[in-house]
A = this chain, B = another copy of it.
Amino acid sequence: MVDVARLAGVSVSTVSYALNGTRPVSAETRARIEAAMAELKYTPNLMARSLRGRRSKIIALVFPGQGRGIDISSLGYILGASDHAQSLGYHLLLWTTEIDSLASLRTLVGQGLLDGVLLMEVRMDDPRIAVLTEADVPFAMIGRTDQATETDWVDTDFDQCVHDALHHLTDLGHRHVALVNQAAPILEMGLSGAIRTQRAAQRSAAQLGLDLTAVTCDSTAPAGTALINHLLDRHPQLTAVLALNEQAVPGVMAGALERGLRVPDDLSIVAVAMSEQAALMAVPAITTISADEHEMGRQGVEVLINRLEGQPGPNTQKLFEGTLRVRGTTGPARS
């Protein structure tokens, strides 16, 4: 920058003003400065800028992805967030350590590297919020806590998803439905989507007069297979499955087939919050109800950056309705 200033015959501060428009600069001076920058291939140093200006244009996406295995929908969120961050001129740091490691989160935000944080895999009572509040780091969430009034978030409308899914099944004549949720440890630690789905399913089932059996299932295809076998042994009257477990669903289908059941003739399946891609990979393609993950990731970043740059204002909270896509795994209940 000193070189640019010298070459353009102005002071460094003038170069800075030309760069940021902080103060007016005459047209001819600006032209000389720009020429000098081009000639020297000058790019502003982000570290110095951040150090002085105490804003780094870096946000972190906190994604403790290990507990659940890898699902495609997660990648959708991540890519959506990353794309949008870049288009808004931000850098996206990916932080994948386990959710319980609060110390590492504290260190991360303490380093003064981040302008803000976007939280994924939110729990109903999420200890990370205290850490971030204490460190005074702005944040937003993809997902929401139990009392989520004072925070910014985007989330899937699980109530609506579950209700519409169960409604769909009821319309087809199903009366006995199993909810295949995430793995037990995940429910125990209170992952928001899993808990909300559970609650919504119980509520909707009661309302629709359905018999609902709620079970947990590890996030692997084999676990799904084992589970559906166990489930059908115990509850032979079951004709439908509502699943919040992208990875177990194919296993459930496989298990049903192995038992000689046809999908959807003998067993209907509808998956909540499963990605399009995963749904289309199965044969038959899976009936799903979910919100667009890419868009949600995008909006998460949008909300966060709005908080960073906008005036204080009230919290932004966006609920995304899922669209029911009836594909090949739901049909009339066998009589």
Contact = CB atoms under 8 A, between A and B. Distances in A.
A61 B75 CA distance: 15
A111 B283 contact: no
Interface residues of A, number: 56
Contact of A277 (B76, B111, B113, B247): B247
A56 B47 CA distance: 9
B277 A43 contact: no
A281 B50 CA distance: 46
A96 B79 contact: yes
B91 A93 contact: yes
A248 to B, nearest CB: 10
Given A51-B51, A280-B250, A283-B254, A97 B93 contact: no
A56 to B, nearest CB: 7
Q: Max chain B CB contacts within 10 Å: which of A69, A95, A96?
A: A96
A107 interface: yes
B111 A45 contact: yes
A82 interface: yes
Given A70-B75, A111-B45, A221 B281 contact: yes
Contact of A96 (B70, B82, B251): B82
Copies in the complex: 2
Interface in A85-127: 86, 91-97, 104, 107, 110-113
A304 interface: no
Given A220-B280, A257-B283, A91 B113 contact: yes
Contact of A278 (B78, B275, B280, B281): B281
Contact of A79 (B70, B93, B221): B70
Contact of A48 (B45, B51, B96, B222): B51
A214 interface: no
Nearest to A108: B91
Contact of A43 (B41, B82, B96, B111): B111
B91 A86 contact: no
B280 A282 contact: no
A9 interface: no
Nearest to A278: B281
26 contacts: A43-B110, A45-B112, A47-B47, A47-B112, A47-B113, A65-B79, A70-B72, A70-B75, A70-B76, A70-B275, A70-B277, A72-B75, A74-B75, A75-B75, A78-B94, A86-B95, A86-B96, A86-B97, A91-B113, A221-B280, A221-B285, A247-B277, A254-B285, A257-B283, A282-B282, A283-B283
